[in-house]
Amino acid sequence: MYLEDLPIGTRWSAGNFTMTAEEVVDFASRYDPQPMHIDPQAAASGRFGGLIASGWHTAALAMGTLVRARIFGDTAILGLGADQIQWPAPVRPGDVMHVDVEVVGNTPSKSKPDFGVVKIRTIAQNQRDEVVLVMTSNCWVPRRPVGQVPDLPAQSS
Amino acid sequence: MYLEDLPIGTRWSAGNFTMTAEEVVDFASRYDPQPMHIDPQAAASGRFGGLIASGWHTAALAMGTLVRARIFGDTAILGLGADQIQWPAPVRPGDVMHVDVEVVGNTPSKSKPDFGVVKIRTIAQNQRDEVVLVMTSNCWVPRRPVGQVPDLPAQSS
């Protein structure tokens, strides 16, 4: 896919991911070793009343869901960065999230005319439809080579 | 620590983390399974000339570095979200990053007077001092209970 194939408003239902207690602890032991994420007993007596996933873990699982859904087809999902990440509600073991994505920006590069930036907003909601993740990220994608305009009738040369 | 202990301009050198080829592939196989992250041969012939880490992996390792440095002391580093993440340069196996953090915002909550938001900017640079990660995140921290003012002489009651 090229920049031209991803206009603003393009949407995908990218699929689901499930959070397990084992994976909450495993991820956080490496990347976010705080009691609320790695110590079930401490977490039970803490403000959340039990283990919650690291927000980075939720973001990573949402990313994996986008990749496996191949939202850009054969084109890499190459992130330049994110404008925004929000974790409005905690993710707990056993939660099942569904992931929806929408193109909210589409901008040709000024410095590299063969490329552009697709801005996508990813929203993950749990089985109670509570939003647990909102992230808006900027992806670097190629532009359609000059002459390839499949939306128009083929031109004779 | 409380909101009052984390004024704008507070800085930490939080330590280092190292990226290994094994961990690049392991993380990305779960969370970002694209050839540039999981397939050394495909990556070698791709635009980066070799494996690069998922940006989410770099962000997660930077988070782990902040947690292990205990930048907030005994207070949890509880992220509400991030205003910005940038990955200006790729992270490759063998790279060693150093992580610097600075408080760039300090705002009492309007709705919950016992809490506030500390905004921190985290920058990770590799062994060549190239910036590989910039992230600005918002952390929910308690305010100092009324009456506890350790910067002033103890008051008699």
What are the DSSP calls for B4-35, one per residue?
GG--TT-EEEEEEEE--HHHHHHHHHHH---H
* Confidence at B147, pLDDT banded by 50, 70, 90: confident
Contact (CB<8Å) B63/A56 = yes
Which residue of chain A has the CA closest to B134? A81
| Spatial CA neighbour of A51 closest among A22, A86, A75 | A22
Q: How far apart are CA A110 and CA B15, in angstroms?
A: 37
- Put simply, whether A87 touches B (Cβ < 8 Å) is yes
Whole-number Cα distances in Å, B70 to A20, A86, B13, B32, B116: 26, 23, 11, 28, 19
Whole-number Cα distances in Å, A94 to A47, B18, B31, B38: 19, 32, 18, 28
pLDDT single digits (tens) B13-69: 999 999 999 999 999 999 999 999 999 999 999 999 999 999 999 999 999 999 999
Q: How far apart are CA A149 and CA A146, in angstroms?
A: 8
| Spatial CA neighbour of A67 closest among B34, B53, B37 | B34
Mean pLDDT on A25-51: 96
Task: Determine which of A80, A85, A134 to mutate to test the interface with B (most B C-beta atoms within 10 Å).
Answer: A85
> Cα distance from A36 to chain B (closest Cα, Å)?
9
ipTM, two decimals: 0.90
Domains of chain B are 3-142 (3.10.129.10)
The CA-to-CA distance between both ends of chain A, in Å, stands at 25
For the whole model, what pTM was predicted?
Answer: 0.91
- At CA B51, angle to CA A6 and CA B63, rounded to 5? 80
- Chain B, residues 91-130, CB within 8 A of chain A, namely none
- At CA B59, angle to CA B58 and CA B60, rounded to 5? 90
